[in-house]
Structure 1
Amino acid sequence: MGERAMTQRDGTCWDVVVVGGGAAGLSAALTLGRVRRSVLVIDSGEPRNAPAVDVGAHGVLGREGVSPLELLRLGREEVAAFGGRVVSGRVAHVRRDGEEFSVATEDGQRVRARRVLVTTGLVDELPELPGLAERWGRDVLHCVYCHGWEVRDRAIGVLGSVHQALLFRQLSKDVTLFLHEGAEPTEEQWEQLAGLGVSVVEGAVERLVVDEEKDRLAGMRLVSGVVVPVEELVVAPRFVARADFLDGLGLTVREHPMGIGEQVVVDGSGFTGVAGVWAAGNVSDVLAGVPQAMAAGVGAAAAINADLVMADAGRAAASRVVGPGGDVCTGPTEAAVSRRVLGARAHGLDGLVDGG
């Protein structure tokens, strides 16, 4: 990536630099572009849902089942249509520089931004089990809302999570819970599992069994040597926000209330509590799917634009002077002068009502 690709044509500071070009980041950039903000998206090209390219993104109204990479391609085109720019790169750090920010990439490029939006997503830390990572996003999954419909009525294995076993039982009568290294179910959970007909397999799992000819998951081999047939496997990753490059800005990273991972703390608008910095998507909500990430990006963009509007208005008001004396011309002063000079032709509602 060349320096010119990241620099505004007039050499000025970007209104907003968006770090991360996924669903949240591109939705934010589109929103900002449509209100004529200068926006630069820096994306490392590592979308979290890339492994699901063959199964699609689901629950996206109007784009149900779209390939994740196709969705991003379309998003980039839409951002560009409204003047936004998307470049490839990995941000190394973000530093405050007076009232602005300095955003530097690992290849040494540097740009200035008035505001920063972090949409870098998260990393799925998968259970350590031979063969599992290779099938992630194919027949190893975690979200009933993202991919449940596609595995309906199949033989579904669930690794160590009673909650997920109950969720996926809604999609199939053939659900098997492998306790593996998970917590022992409570007495109430045992009753729930039995009542719904969920099979429970005790003992540790050794590895996944794959039908190499069909390139499909075929079962789970226990340490005991027993193989339990399954066609799909549900796991519970630990979700970790990609936020290491923000060290020094003072953002708060906190454990999710459900104990499933770490995320950047934000308010309802995506504001991080650090002046000028917002976050949206999985980096601040590890449970967000594509539609939620899009919505969060739009909300954060609106909040950022409102913040910039007030900053611009304040700067414009402070720069207004009357005559050579340099006195600030306040709103009430301007209105009074207009009435004296123009009378009924003064701007405002009075002039309209009087027919001026």
Structure 2
Amino acid sequence: MNDSIVIGAGAAGLSAGLTLARARRDTLIIDAGAQSNLAATGIGGLLGHDRRPPAEYYAAGRAELAAYPSIEIRHGEAVSVTRGEDDVFTVALADGRHERARTLILATGMEYRHPRLPGLGERWGTSVFHCPFCHGWEMRDRPMGVLATSAVGVHGALNLRAWTRTITLLTNGAELTGAQRDLLSAGGVAWDPRPIAALDGPGTSLETVTFHDGDPLPVTALLVKAVLYQRSPLATGLGVTLTPPDEMLSVEAITVDPMCRTAIPGLFAAGDAATSVPPSMAAAVASGYLAGASAAVRIAAGY
């Protein structure tokens, strides 16, 4: 029997594991790999690790945890979780094994769903990105585009003025209201409603956005509104509450309190998957610490 099981070994899961390791709690971390930010060339805004490649960061985190005897990191996939009448969680793994723990931390991350446009997927995390605070510095002073509609697009385009003054809001066929056009004009932001055909450029670089009609637009960086959904069905299988995606953040997240506790005793959630965390590495590390500390306190109290 483990004191805790952490599902997910991204920034939040490894941070939770470190906190539990230092509390001398027997903890199994299950790592299916394929963290959502591995496509990025570097981490933006994580103090001490700014612009470090994500894969290098995760390898360093696993190496740190290896020094603690109470921690095991196992590559595998959790396919289901149940909570028994004794309040113990049982995790079924894809290899047929079952592991039990007094507490469970879901750090399973999110699936980023972006518009299906030719040329977008292969540039995701490089010249096409979701978070300006994570990638804006590297793309500064270039001609940028924003692919979004309605108030989200207007807000995103105006926000980009901190990084560049050449900005075009691309609505991909959707129209803006007169008030929205007035806001963009006042902020010095252009807009183009034409339906997009493709993103073009060498390799993962972006040079132009082409349309189904008319001339292409020079754009070397593109901010895209993506909707974040749970990568794993484990949370819904346990009956946790999910918040519906809202207009601005567009996140389908597990509802937690400020200490990363769900409404199910002994179940915690951290990282992008939880409501308390905006999608960033820095926030994920902090929430992983809180989830790990909360789990350790529950274990110490005899749960």
TM-score bin, normalised by smaller chain:
over 0.9
Identical-residue share of aligned pairs (%): 37
Q: 1:103 aligns with which of 91, 98, 123?
A: 91
Counterpart pick for 2:163 among 171, 174, 190: 171
State the partner residue of 1:114. 102
Greater shift in the superposed pair: 274-283 or 155-164? 155-164
1:61 equivalent in structure 2: 47
The alignment of Structure 1 onto Structure 2 pairs a total of residues equal to 295
Larger fraction in helix: 1
TM-score, normalising length: structure 2 = 0.93
RMSD: 1.6
Residues in 2 aligned to 1:205 and 1:225: alpha-carbon distance in whole angstroms: 11
2:245 aligned with 1:253, yes or no? Answer: no
Larger radius of gyration: 1
Q: Does residue 267 of structure 2 align to residue 280 of structure 1?
A: no
Take 1:250 and 1:180, find their aligned partners in 2: how far apart are those partners? Answer: 37
Q: Distance in 1 between matches of 2:294 and 2:236?
A: 23
- Counterparts of 1:1-356 in structure 2, within 5 Å, are 13-52=1-40, 55-83=41-69, 84-97=71-84, 98-160=86-148, 161-182=153-174, 184-211=175-202, 216-258=205-247, 260-285=250-275, 287-311=278-302
Secondary structure, in 3 states, of the residue corresponding to 2:302? Answer: helix
Higher relative contact order (CA 8 A, sep 6+): 2
* Mapped partners of 1:294, 1:258: distance in 2: 25
Q: SS state of the match for residue 252, structure 2?
A: strand
Are the aligned partners of 1:17 and 1:41 in contact in 2 as well (CA < 8 Å)?
yes
TM-superposed CA distance for 1:235, in Å, is 0.6
Cα pair 1:16 1:38 within 8 Å, conserved:
yes
Deviation at 1:242, TM superposition (A): 2.2
For residues 93-137 of structure 1, the C-alpha deviation after alignment (integer angstroms, 9 at most, x for no partner) is 011132311111112121111100000000000101111111101
2:173, 2:269 → 1: CA distance?
A: 34
TM-score for both structures, normalised by structure 1: 0.79
Asked if the contact 2:235–2:254 (Cα under 8 Å) also holds between the matched residues in 1, the reply is no
4+ aligned runs moved over 2 Å, structure 1: 184-189, 245-248, 256-259, 285-288
CA drift at 1:204? 0.8
- Distance of 2:169 and 2:145 partners within structure 1: 6
Report the alpha carbon displacement of residue 264 of structure 1 after superposing the two structures with TM.
0.8
Equivalent position amino acid for 1:272 in 2: T
Deviations 1:51-100 (A, max 9, x none): 00xx2001111111111111111111111212211110110001113231
Q: Deviations over 1:245-274 (max 9, x none)?
A: 344422111214436131111111111101
Task: Give the drift of 1:179.
Answer: 1.7
Instruction: Compute the displacement of 1:210 (Å).
Output: 1.9
State the AA in 2 paired with 1:163.
Answer: H
> Which residue does 1:5 correspond to in 2?
none
CA contact (8 A) 1:42 1:91 kept: yes
Asked if the contact 1:241/1:282 (under 8 Å) is kept, the reply is no
> 2:119, 2:200 → 1: CA distance?
8
| Structure 1 residue 142: Cα displacement | 1.5
Residue identity in the other structure for 2:61: G
Aligned amino acid, residue 30 of structure 1: L
Is the contact between residue 158 and residue 233 of structure 1 (CA under 8 Å) also seen in structure 2?
yes
Equivalent AA in structure 1 for residue 198 of structure 2: R
